[in-house]
A and B are shown apart, each in its own frame.
Chain A
Amino acid sequence: MIILPTWPGATKAVPSVLDFGGILQPTSGAATQRFNRLGNRYGVAFEMPRLENADEGRIWVNRLVRGLSAGARMEYPLLDFDPGTPGAFVVNGAGQAGTMLNVRGGAPFYQFKEGQPFNILIDGTYFLDFIAADTNANGSGAATITLSQMLREQPADGDPLLITQPVVEGWVVGDRLSWELALNRSVGLAFEIHEAR
């Protein structure tokens, strides 16, 4: 897994849900039905500012080239959202599944906000998801958080959560990875990362 530089940030990030369900749409005017399937996850398309080829440009290009074959990890932009001081939340208990997750070990009374991005680190892979409902941790730093997507992989007891700076990790997708070397000595880059699972 290639970790992309944290600076400079993307000028534009377009996150998307990779949805495997659909709407069962009859050709007539009959009622439609929503069809949910397992395995929904996220992808983010990034557009980078012009990068000086002399320093950061060549590094970004090289990390992406290597990331093409090994997968890449990029910080998820929080913009103005401040996750505060969450402490060290970890998964509380093995055998959990679905969209409810018990966590412990965080800062007492930490507030999870609806729509807040975070990661669960399972077996070396960072899974991105968003909190689906405002939740407060109790006095001992434990909480039951609601996820937006179902867990894609079963976490073990004690798997850590990353709340202060979440990342998106996956394959660099697209027809091909290309970069623009311009006359003004800058590099233009745009790429997309899709979670693998």
Chain B
Amino acid sequence: MAFEGRVICPVALMEITLPSRIVRLCDGGFILWGSDKFESVDEHFGAVHSAEAFEEKTGDEAPGGKVTFLPPSATAATLLSNPAFQGARMRFWLGEYDRASGQVVGTPSLTADLAIDTVTLKRSKGMRSVDIEFESAAKLLFLVMRGNALNDRFHQQCYPGELGMSNATGMPRSSAWGADNAG
């Protein structure tokens, strides 16, 4: 992939690996990548309306994003909410194509490797869309221990009888001025 010269022909490609089948989408018409055909519309997902900028930050933020689809029917829209789709792998590429052959040229670069998180169906006048939010496939590797806390109750579970945390209640203790401090 070069993106050089006076005329460039870029194409955005997307592939969703569902448990039952593989959805391949591109941003217009159709394009061939080897033996795979990327269509601009899918029987269930419909066409891609827009894609939010994918975010990735330093710290504990995992890459994620949102793509809005225009499903072709209400049945298709509800089908997309299939719980089995959650966690399905979803990849994005940016490539270049050849106009004469309708084929992808070279190897497109993989820009994101994500997993389906939540699906939201939205309707308004003249519009029916499905927002699909993604999170990074790497999120599965994140070690989050939500039950662990720095308090006496948890500390007693780990080290019974160890009282170093017994006054760590987070509550302020006030002593009257001038009174004898009983401890």
- Is A36 part of the binding interface, using a Cβ–Cβ cutoff of 8 Å? yes
**Residue contact A150 to B103, C-beta cutoff 8 Å:** no
- Is A75 part of the binding interface, using a Cβ–Cβ cutoff of 8 Å? no
Q: Which residue, of B11, B40, B99, B103, has the highest number of chain A Cβ atoms within 10 A?
A: B99
* Complex alpha-carbon distance, A154 and B40, angstroms: 11
**Residue contact A38 to B98, C-beta cutoff 8 Å:** no
**Residue contact A152 to B30, C-beta cutoff 8 Å:** yes
* Complex alpha-carbon distance, A70 and B92, angstroms: 34
User: What is the distance, in angstroms, from A173's C-beta to the closest C-beta of chain B?
Assistant: 13
- Which of A7-15, A76-84, A92-100 participates in binding chain B? A92-100
- Is B90 part of the binding interface, using a Cβ–Cβ cutoff of 8 Å? no
**Residue contact A38 to B101, C-beta cutoff 8 Å:** no
- Is B27 part of the binding interface, using a Cβ–Cβ cutoff of 8 Å? yes
Contacting B at CB under 8 A, from A14-38, are 20, 31, 33-38
* Complex alpha-carbon distance, A33 and B2, angstroms: 14
**Residue contact A36 to B8, C-beta cutoff 8 Å:** yes
- Is A153 part of the binding interface, using a Cβ–Cβ cutoff of 8 Å? yes
**Residue contact A38 to B7, C-beta cutoff 8 Å:** no
Contacting A at CB under 8 A, from B30-50, are 30-32, 37, 40-41
**Residue contact A98 to B101, C-beta cutoff 8 Å:** yes
A147-188 CB mask vs B (1 if < 8 Å, else 0) is 000111110000000000000000000000000000000000
**Residue contact A100 to B100, C-beta cutoff 8 Å:** yes
Residue from B5, B37, B41 within 8 A of A154 (CB atoms):
B37
Tally chain A residues at the interface, Cβ within 8 Å: 22
- Is A197 part of the binding interface, using a Cβ–Cβ cutoff of 8 Å? yes
**Residue contact A97 to B101, C-beta cutoff 8 Å:** yes
- Is A108 part of the binding interface, using a Cβ–Cβ cutoff of 8 Å? no
**Which residues from B are CB-within-8-Å of A38?**
11, 26-31, 40, 97
**Which residues from B are CB-within-8-Å of A105?**
none
Tally chain B residues at the interface, Cβ within 8 Å: 24
**Residue contact A39 to B6, C-beta cutoff 8 Å:** no
- Is B63 part of the binding interface, using a Cβ–Cβ cutoff of 8 Å? no
* Complex alpha-carbon distance, A31 and B130, angstroms: 40
- Is B165 part of the binding interface, using a Cβ–Cβ cutoff of 8 Å? no
**Residue contact B29 to A36, C-beta cutoff 8 Å:** no
* Complex alpha-carbon distance, A150 and B29, angstroms: 8
User: What is the distance, in angstroms, from B138's C-beta to the closest C-beta of chain A?
Assistant: 31
* Complex alpha-carbon distance, A151 and B10, angstroms: 16
Q: Which residue of B lies closest to A20 (CB)?
A: B28
**Which residues from B are CB-within-8-Å of A34?**
6-8
**Residue contact A39 to B29, C-beta cutoff 8 Å:** yes
* Complex alpha-carbon distance, A98 and B30, angstroms: 9
Chain B contact residues, CB within 8 Å of chain A: 5-11, 26-32, 37, 40-41, 97-103
Chain A contact residues, CB within 8 Å of chain B: 20, 31, 33-40, 95-100, 150-154, 197
